[in-house]
Amino acid sequence: MPLLTPVARSSCRIRFFTILCASLLVISARAEEESPAPSPSAAPMTENPLLQESSLDFHYPPFDKIKDEHFAPAYEKGMADQLKEIEPIASSAEPPTFENTVVALEKAGDLLGRVDRIFSNLAGANTNPALQKVESDMAPKLAAQQDAIFLNGPLFKRVETIYNDRDKLGLDDESKWLVERYYKDFVRAGAKLSEADKTKLKAMNAELAELQTKFAQNVLKEKNAESIVVDDRADLKGLSDNEIAAAAVAAKEAKNKAGTFVLPLQNTTQQPALTSLKSRALRERIMKTSLARNSHGGDWDNRQAVLRMVKLRAERANLLGYPNHAAYQLEDQTAKNVETVNKLLGELAPPAVANARKEAADMQQLIDREKGGFQLASWDWAYYSDQVRQARYAFDESEIKPYFELNHVLLDGVFYAATQLYGITFKERHDLPVYQPDVRVFAVSDKDGRPLGIFLADYYARPSKRGGAWMNEYVNQSDLLGMKPVVANHLNIPKPEAGQPTLLTFDEVTTMFHEFGHALHGMFSHVKYPRFSGTSVPRDFVEYPSQVNEMWASWPQVLEHYAKHYKTGEPMPKELLDKVLAAEKFNQGFKTTEYLAATLLDQAWHQISPAEVPNDVLAFEASALKKAGVDLPTVPPRYRTTYFSHAFAGGYSAGYYSYIWAEELDADSVEWFKQHGGLKRENGDHFRDTLLSRGGSKDAMKLFHDFTGRDPWIEPLLKRRGLDGAADPKATNEAPPPQS
Taking residues 359-381, what's their average pLDDT?
97
Confidence of residue 22 (pLDDT cuts 50, 70, 90): very low
In the predicted structure, residue 739 carries a pLDDT above the cut 70: no
Residues of the chain with CATH 1.10.1370.40: 11-215, 405-562+676-709
Taking residues 400-408, what's their average pLDDT?
96
For 655-681, the DSSP string reads TTTHHHHHHHHHHHHHHHHHHTTSS-H
User: Given 1.10.1370.40, 1.10.3720.10, 1.10.10.10, 3.40.190.90, which CATH number is that of 11-215?
Assistant: 1.10.1370.40
Confidence of residue 725 (pLDDT cuts 50, 70, 90): low
**In one letter, which amino acid is 173?**
D
What's the CA gap between 303 and 13, in Å, rounded? 24
User: What is the Cα 643 distance to its own chain's centre?
Assistant: 15
pLDDT (0 to 100) of residue 465: 87
Average of per-residue pLDDT values in the chain:
90
Give the residue among 279, 285, 290, 293 at the shortest CA–CA distance from 383. Answer: 279
Per-residue pLDDT of 331-360, as tens digits, reads: 999 999 999 999 999 999 999 999 999 999
What's the CA gap between 331 and 682, in Å, rounded? 35
In the predicted structure, residue 92 carries a pLDDT above the cut 80: yes
What's the CA gap between 92 and 158, in Å, rounded? 9
Judged by average pLDDT, the poorest of 7-11, 23-27, 314-318, 438-442 is: 23-27
Supply φ then ψ for residue 28, to 5 degrees.
-75, 145
Among the listed residues 515, 550, 594, 663, the single catalytic one is 515
What's the CA gap between 324 and 36, in Å, rounded? 41
Measured N-to-C along each axis, helices 658-675 and 338-369 cross at an angle, to the nearest 10 degrees, of: 80
Taking residues 386-411, what's their average pLDDT?
91
Judged by average pLDDT, the poorest of 256-260, 274-278, 472-476 is: 256-260
Which helix (H) or strand (E) segment is 265 a member of?
A: none
Taking residues 155-169, what's their average pLDDT?
98
pLDDT (0 to 100) of residue 259: 85
In the predicted structure, residue 35 carries a pLDDT above the cut 60: no
What's the CA gap between 24 and 455, in Å, rounded? 21
Burial 4-36 (b: 16+ CB within 10 A, else e): bbbbbbbbbbbbbbbbbbbbbbbbbeebbeeee
Task: Collect all residues with Cβ–Cβ distance below 8 Å to 309 and sequence separation of at least 6.
Answer: 208, 211, 212, 215, 648
Confidence of residue 249 (pLDDT cuts 50, 70, 90): confident
pLDDT (0 to 100) of residue 45: 56
**DSSP count for the chain of H helices, then E strands:** 28, 8
Confidence of residue 6 (pLDDT cuts 50, 70, 90): very low
pLDDT (0 to 100) of residue 178: 98
Q: Is 497 an annotated catalytic residue? A: no
Higher-pLDDT residue of 320 and 718 is 320
Give the residue among 414, 601, 592, 366 at the shortest CA–CA distance from 513. Answer: 414
Residue 689 CB burial class (10 angstroms; 0-12, 13-18, ≥19): middle
What's the CA gap between 242 and 495, in Å, rounded? 10
- Angle at CA 323, nearest 5°, toward 320 and 327? 85
What's the CA gap between 272 and 276, in Å, rounded? 8
In the predicted structure, residue 31 carries a pLDDT above the cut 80: no
pLDDT (0 to 100) of residue 314: 98
Higher-pLDDT residue of 76 and 24 is 76
CATH architecture for residues 405-562+676-709? Orthogonal Bundle (1.10)
Torsion of CA 501, 507, 512, 513, to 10 degrees: 130
pLDDT (0 to 100) of residue 11: 36
pLDDT (0 to 100) of residue 463: 80
pLDDT (0 to 100) of residue 395: 81
What's the CA gap between 336 and 338, in Å, rounded? 7
What's the CA gap between 334 and 206, in Å, rounded? 28
CA atoms within 13 A on the CB side of 261: 19
Higher-pLDDT residue of 694 and 464 is 694
